[in-house]
Amino acid sequence: MLEPHNYGLSSRWFLRALLISLLLLASLAVVLLAGGALHWNTIVLPAGNRWLAVLFLSLAGMIFLRGFRSTEWDAFSPLRLFYTIWFGLLALGFIRLTTADSGLTVRFWTIVTCGLSAFYLGALWAGRTREKGDQVALSELARHWKIDWVPSRALLLSGAFCAVCLAAFTYEYLKTGIMPLLAEDPNSVRALFSVNSYVHRFAISFYITIQLGYIGVVHLRRYKAAFLAILVLGCVAITLLTARSFLLFAVWTAIVLFHYGRRRMTPRVALLVVLIAYPVAKLAVDVRRFYGNDAFNRVLDQIDFPERLRAFAPDYLYFSMTLQTLDHLTFIIPGEMDYQHGWYTGYPIRVFWTTRKGEGFRDRLDDLFWERSGEWSPTPAVTTAYMGVPYADFGIPGVFVFSCIFGWLSVRAYESMRRQPTFWRVFFYSQINLAIVLSIFGTYLTLFEPYWNLGVMALVHSFASGGSNLPGAAVAARLESA
C-alpha cells in the first residue's frame, strides 16, 4: 500500500477518492458517447469559468500543503508534485485571459483523466513491489550520502567539458554572425544559430556545466572560485541563447540536489526561490525576447491580452496554450493523420539518423505544430504536455500505458533514493523529478536531453570519484551505525 509520508499526501483516502472520481468521469463520458448524447469533439467545461479555476487551484494548494508541518513533508515527492502542478495547470486553463483560449473537447478531457488516473495506478503498482529495507528519514538524508569526487579530477573534467561547449558556441557564432539575445528579433534567429545539430548539442550543453559548477561550489571543498566561474559562464551562455528551458533544467536539478543534500525545501524556502529566480529569469531573457519585441506586443493586442497583466503574458501563453495544442492534436490525429506507432516516442533513439527538416528538428511532435498552429492560434503553439507524444503514437491506450509507466518509474526512483541514498540515485531522481515538472509542458522522457545528461554525468562521476561511490552495502552499514 502507498505510505503517505513516502509519496507526499498524508490522506490515502483523498487519492483513492480522486482516482474513483476520475474513473467515474471517464466511464460517464464513454456511456454518453456510446448513447450519442456526446461526441468526441463536443466542447465541455468551456474556458473562462472562474469557479472551476478556483476549484482546481484549491485542489492544487491542498495537495501541496497537506501535512507540511510534518518532518516527512517533501515538496519534491512524486505524487505531491505531479498532482499539484497538473491541477494548477488546469486552473490556469480556465482563467481565459485571451480570446485565443477556446473550450476543450470530450476527447481532451478523456485523455487528461486517463493520464492522471494511470499515473496514480503506476505509483500504486510501484508501492506494492517496493524494495526491502527501511527508508532514511528526510531530515537525515543529507547525512547519508555525499559526492566522493576528487576535486582536482572534477575540476579538470568540468573545465574540459566547458571548453568543448565554448568551442561549439564560438564556432556557431562565427558561422552565423549573430547572438540570439542581442539580435533585433531574438525569436526569429534562435533556430538560425544552430549551424549543425551535433555541434549545437554541445553549445546548448552549457546547462550541464551549470550543474557541474553548482556541485563544485556547494558539495566540494576546493577550487570554489574556478567552479563558480564555470557556473557563471554556463548561465551567461544559456541566457545569450535565450534558452529558458535549458536554464530551467540546470536550476531545477541544482534545487533537487540542494534539497536532498543540504537543506530541505520548506514552503518558505520555496517561496524565496521563486521570488528571486523568477524575476531574474525574466530580466535575463524576457526583456529582450518578449517585452522589447514589437511583433510579440502586436500578438497580445490581437488576442486582447489584459494590459495590466502583460508582464506575465509569456508564461501564461506557454502553459495555457499547451492545453489548447493538446486539444487540437486530437483533431489532427486520427482525423487527418494516422497514429505513428512509436515514431515520436522513439525520438531519443532515432535522433542519430533521422535527417533534419529545414530549420526544424528531426521530425518531433512540436515540428508538426510549428506551421499548423498558425491555422488556429495567433502564436506558434507547439507543446502538448506529456500526454501528446503517447497519444500521437498509440492513442488513448498509449496515454494510459505511458502514464502508468511514468508513475511507476517516478515512485521507484524516489523509493530507491530514500532507501539507499547515493549521489547517483539522487541525480537520477532529479531527472525524473524534472520530467514530472515538465509534464505540463512536454514529454521530457522522450527527448534526448535526459539520457545525454545521465551519460555526461555518469562519465564525470566515474572518472572524478575517488574510489568510493557509496555502494548499497556501504550505505546500509552507515544506516545501521546511525
- The per-residue DSSP string of 50-87 comes to HHHHHHHHHHHHHHHHTTTTSTT--TT-HHHHHHHHHH
User: What is the reported pLDDT for 24?
Assistant: 62
Distance CA 159, CA 225 (A): 12
Spatial neighbors of 367 by CB under 8 A, at least 6 apart, are 357, 360, 361, 382
Instruction: Return the number of other C-beta atoms located less than 10 Å from residue 346's C-beta.
Output: 14
User: What is the reported pLDDT for 482?
Assistant: 40
**Of 126, 196, 129, 125, nearest to 167 (Cα)?**
196
Distance CA 8, CA 339 (A): 36
- 8-state DSSP, 149: B
Spatial neighbors of 250 by CB under 8 A, at least 6 apart, are 207, 208, 210, 211, 214, 234, 235, 238
User: What is the reported pLDDT for 29?
Assistant: 62
Per-residue confidence in pLDDT tens, the chain, 482 aa? 334 334 444 445 555 666 666 666 666 666 566 556 567 677 776 666 777 888 888 888 888 888 777 878 888 999 999 999 999 999 888 887 877 777 788 888 889 989 998 999 899 888 776 666 677 888 788 788 888 899 999 999 999 999 999 999 999 999 988 888 888 777 777 778 888 888 999 999 999 999 999 999 988 888 999 999 999 999 999 989 888 889 889 989 988 998 888 776 666 666 666 666 667 666 677 777 777 777 777 888 888 888 888 888 888 888 888 888 898 898 888 888 899 999 999 999 988 887 766 555 567 888 888 777 777 776 677 889 999 999 999 999 999 999 999 999 999 999 999 888 889 999 999 999 999 999 999 899 999 999 999 999 999 999 998 654 444 444 444 444 44
User: What is the reported pLDDT for 9?
Assistant: 44
Task: Give pTM, 2 decimals.
Answer: 0.86
- 8-state DSSP, 105: E
**Which amino acid makes up residue 192?**
L
3 state SS of 421: coil
3 state SS of 44: strand
User: What is the reported pLDDT for 304?
Assistant: 82
Distance CA 15, CA 248 (A): 29
- Alpha carbon of 194 to those of 67, 145, 160, 178, 358: distances in Å? 47, 39, 22, 11, 11
Distance CA 296, CA 179 (A): 19
Sign of CA dihedral 34, 40, 43, 45: positive
**Of 414, 393, 420, nearest to 144 (Cα)?**
420
- 8-state DSSP, 465: B
3 state SS of 269: helix
The answer to whether residues 356 and 191 touch, using CB atoms and an 8 Å cutoff, is no
The answer to whether residues 235 and 247 touch, using CB atoms and an 8 Å cutoff, is yes
User: What is the reported pLDDT for 136?
Assistant: 84
Question: Residue 306 is placed in which grid cell?
Answer: 489584459
End-to-end CA distance of the chain: 27
Spatial neighbors of 249 by CB under 8 A, at least 6 apart, are 207, 434, 449, 453
User: What is the reported pLDDT for 264?
Assistant: 66
The secondary element (H helix, E strand) that includes residue 43 is strand 43-44
Distance CA 366, CA 361 (A): 9
Q: Tell me the backbone φ, ψ of residue 103, rounded to 5 degrees.
A: -70, 160
User: What is the reported pLDDT for 141?
Assistant: 82
3 state SS of 363: coil
The answer to whether residues 6 and 418 touch, using CB atoms and an 8 Å cutoff, is yes
For the chain, give the number of residues: 482
